[in-house]
Amino acid sequence: SVAQADGLPPLEQKDTYTVGFAQMESNNPWRIAETKSFHDTAESCGWNLIATDAAGSAAKQVADVDSMIAQGIDVLFLPPREEKPLIPAVMKARAAGIPTFLIDRSVDPAVAKPGEHFVSFLGSDFIDQGRRVAEWTLENFEGEQGIIVELEGTTGSSPANDRRKGFDDVMAQHDNMTIVASQTGDFARDMGRQVMETLLQAHPDVNIVYAHNDEMAIGAIQALELAGRKPGEDVLVVSIDGTRDALQAIIDGKMGVTVESSPFFGPLACEVMNKYAAGETIEPWVQVQDRIFTVDNAAENIDAAY
């Protein structure tokens, strides 16, 4: 664990902080819920919040951080869109003496390290999420041979890399499970639908779809239905996040499971930042615990979903 005394940029205890939150994009409910969580936390945490939206461009996200540094932020909260392209933003904030907390995604750990270049990563265990989806699938798939299509998240992002690893490693140990195609849908509903349409033509015998997030799962369900397939009956759809639309799809019997990946980072960011300012030690990885949503609990959780 690390404290500011270990050589990281100092952060004094004050009533108000100028805080940068450099969001990567706002094209899905998860991102919108996360940004809202920071805005909702701002007043009670004493943040004068500068929030930007990189609109899906890593280059713009780096430029947004540049401009926040120029505006004199005290603290940076950064959800890095991709693992490598955002390293310059982390390094520039470090050089400018600004404590940085990575939010919900991480950067390449071989190059930028918690406790050294940034304070800490606040987020889920993506390998474990992928593993849990795979284990649920193995227990609940009713066919004999699983023909799996995998819709990957944003290429080069930590959740896409790790959700793939967690799932694929489990499936590799089961001879009756074959991943016939694995392609990026960029974590987006539209692209998930388009990629699923194409993959369905090459692999009409698919009976399991694993999407790295709920938006792509919903897109895949649309593509399957357009092709006359029956998601939930002849194709098992499984994914990650816990959005309202995914919980509804589970209730409607079209989706099997979604492992939670919470977007509500505002309160956690406030708590960890205050501990850091108080000189307490911070874990290099502040791990978020995730639930699992199935037909057993989707209805009771949908009202709190986003």
The residue ranges that bind ligand GYE (CB under 6 A) are 28, 30-31, 104-105, 159, 187, 213, 240-241, 261
* Closer residue to ligand GYE (CB): 83 or 241: 241
Comparing every residue's Cβ against ligand GYE, the nearest one is 213
* Closer residue to ligand GYE (CB): 24 or 69: 24
Spatial separation of the C-alpha atoms in residues 102 and 86, rounded to whole Å:
11
* Closer residue to ligand GYE (CB): 106 or 207: 106
Compute the least distance from the CB of residue 213 to ligand GYE, in Å: 4
Spatial separation of the C-alpha atoms in residues 267 and 258, rounded to whole Å:
23
* Closer residue to ligand GYE (CB): 189 or 229: 189
- Angle between helix axes 58-70 and 87-95 (nearest 10 degrees) is 10
Compute the least distance from the CB of residue 205 to ligand GYE, in Å: 28
Compute the least distance from the CB of residue 81 to ligand GYE, in Å: 9
Strand runs labelled E in 30-107: 47-53, 75-78, 100-103
Q: Measure Cα distances from 245 to 149, 155, 225, 282 in Å.
A: 21, 24, 16, 35
Compute the least distance from the CB of residue 26 to ligand GYE, in Å: 10
Residue at 238: amino acid letter: V
Chain CA centroid to CA 92, Å: 24
> Among candidates 298, 290, 216, which has minimal Cα distance to 256?
298
| Dihedral sign for Cα atoms in the order 154, 157, 231, 236 | positive
Compute the least distance from the CB of residue 33 to ligand GYE, in Å: 10
Spatial separation of the C-alpha atoms in residues 209 and 19, rounded to whole Å:
40
* Closer residue to ligand GYE (CB): 182 or 274: 182
Compute the least distance from the CB of residue 25 to ligand GYE, in Å: 7
For residue 268, give the H/E element and its range. Answer: helix 266-277
* Closer residue to ligand GYE (CB): 64 or 162: 162
* Closer residue to ligand GYE (CB): 28 or 184: 28
The burial class, CB within 10 Å (0-12 / 13-18 / 19+), for 57 is: middle
Compute the least distance from the CB of residue 105 to ligand GYE, in Å: 4
* Closer residue to ligand GYE (CB): 4 or 258: 258
Q: Are 47 and 265 in contact (CB under 8 A)?
A: no
Compute the least distance from the CB of residue 20 to ligand GYE, in Å: 18
